[in-house]
Amino acid sequence: MTDRRSVAVVLFDGFELLDVFGPVELLAAAPELFELRFLGPTRDLVRSSQGIAVTVTDAYSDAAPADIVLVPGGIGTRRLAEDPGFLDWLRTFGLSASLVTSVCTGSGLLAAAGLLDGRRATSNKLAFDWSASRSDRVDWQRQARWVEDGDRWTSSGVAAGMDMTAALIRHLHGDEVADRITTHVELEVQRDPARDPFALVHRSATAAPTAD
Amino acid sequence: MTDRRSVAVVLFDGFELLDVFGPVELLAAAPELFELRFLGPTRDLVRSSQGIAVTVTDAYSDAAPADIVLVPGGIGTRRLAEDPGFLDWLRTFGLSASLVTSVCTGSGLLAAAGLLDGRRATSNKLAFDWSASRSDRVDWQRQARWVEDGDRWTSSGVAAGMDMTAALIRHLHGDEVADRITTHVELEVQRDPARDPFALVHRSATAAPTAD
């Protein structure tokens, strides 16, 4: 059981459902390898961008250090990127982890917390400019399904989080485990992080206020 | 606004997270077209197969008829397939809808409720035999990403629900709407319902008790 890692999923009001539950579906398929924790501002329910609310296991302030941190996107990131208290906590919590990951505009929060300084990173393509504007100390990659830079993994928008998570499982536990999990959930994963059909679609798009 | 449809997502303890939140992510991206309701046995929280619990909007017994019904899979289906009270309610609720859909072993529940009599349908590939054994009045399709048979749409396991939902949105609202939504969530959908790489993988697998 020494291979088992704790994964802290950082929830907040206005998190994007699939940013969270795509990766969680994959990680939870191997409970012998990953122990999932769901963190919120308090122990109260946290409301998704789509309205449905979910339970948390720990308040931010009570959460034990985790091996892996996962920060999703969602409209709630806009508010948190201006919240010094949250960013201070996220920075400290992230620095204590072995791996810090994000989906979608979650990388905007990592950037604002200083957790991507000097790293390559990507984000949601529709809201790319918003994420990129959170920090000029990040080497932002406009065309990437996901970006791995050492102990920082960031994915593109929403569904890209599943490809990144499958790649992360493959990186940590090898082909057999990754293939077993993706077959179990009947997910055809994209394995090339550089392949990003959505980068071109959104190339001329400016950050839309309602993008996630 | 006459095009707006109500979608009732039937939740139960032991529902599979991605079966629900993949399709919901897509449908919720067009709130002008789909009004989502989340139904549970009561108004209390409903616990997923993965542990995290979610809020519901209506108890089964209080739910207004919906245009579209979505039944997910998950380990909780095993118990419900033997619950005459639930199956009676599901049958009545489904018969009042314009479209009845399922993801994964949700089709086992539809079959047990008699909602797939005389129809072609598919299910999760790992637990296919379990679903198929719920009714011999269904023309079960062992190889299919999803199956559309009139007002009954059933998908294969977990992630296949997103492909089916994208196809359903395309069917109801056309290419422009479907492409806008899938681009928004950066999902590369599979558009061929007959393409099913997971059918072969699981061809010799028997229904595993822990499969969803």
Q: Which residue type occupies A19?
A: D
B86 reaches A (C-beta below 8 A): no
Question: How many angstroms separate the CA of residue A132 from the nearest CA in chain B?
Answer: 18
| Cα distances (Å, whole numbers) of residue A157 to A105, A165, B156 | 7, 13, 24
Give the phi and the psi of residue A74 in degrees, each rounded to 5.
130, 165
* Domains of chain B, first to last: 5-192 (3.40.50.880)
Tell me what pLDDT residue B205 has: 47
Tell me what pLDDT residue B204 has: 47
Would you say residue A118 has pLDDT above 90? Answer: yes
Question: How many angstroms separate the CA of residue B164 from the nearest CA in chain A?
Answer: 13
Per-residue confidence at A201, pLDDT binned at 50, 70, 90? confident
Tell me what pLDDT residue B3 has: 80
Answer yes or no: are the C-beta atoms of A37 and B204 closer than 8 Å: no
Question: How many angstroms separate the CA of residue A180 from the nearest CA in chain B?
Answer: 10
Would you say residue A205 has pLDDT above 50? Answer: no
Tell me what pLDDT residue B93 has: 98
B-chain residues near A30 (CB < 8 A): none
Length of chain B: 212
- Is A21–B16 a contact, with Cβ atoms under 8 angstroms apart? no
Tell me what pLDDT residue A212 has: 61
Give pLDDT tens digits for B90-137: 999 999 999 999 999 999 999 999 999 999 999 999 899 999 999 999
Tell me what pLDDT residue A203 has: 58
At A30 the three-state DSSP class reads: coil
CB within 8 Å of B201: residues ≥ 6 apart: A183, B125
Mean pLDDT of A13-36: 97
Tell me what pLDDT residue A2 has: 60
Which chain A residue has the Cα nearest residue B46? A54
Cα–Cα distance, A144 to A116 (Å, whole number) = 16
Tell me what pLDDT residue B1 has: 46
Give the number of A-B residue pairs with CB atoms closer than 8 Å.
105
Q: Is the ipTM of this complex over 0.95?
A: no
A121 reaches B (C-beta below 8 A): no
Question: How many angstroms separate the CA of residue B123 from the nearest CA in chain A?
Answer: 11
B54 reaches A (C-beta below 8 A): yes
| Partner residue facing B38 (CB), from A45, A52, A159 | A52
What stretch of H or E contains A139?
strand A139-140
| Partner residue facing B50 (CB), from A28, A50, A157 | A28
CB within 8 Å of A127: residues ≥ 6 apart: A73, A104, A105, A108, A157, A207, A208, A211, A212
**Mean per-residue pLDDT over chain A, rounded:** 93
Give pLDDT tens digits for B21-72: 999 999 999 999 999 999 999 999 999 999 999 999 999 999 999 999 999 9
Question: How many angstroms separate the CA of residue A87 from the nearest CA in chain B?
Answer: 25
A-chain residues near B198 (CB < 8 A): 183, 186
Q: Which range among A71-80, A186-195, B33-42 shows the weakest confidence by mean pLDDT?
A: A186-195
Would you say residue B209 has pLDDT above 60? Answer: no
- Is A184–B160 a contact, with Cβ atoms under 8 angstroms apart? no
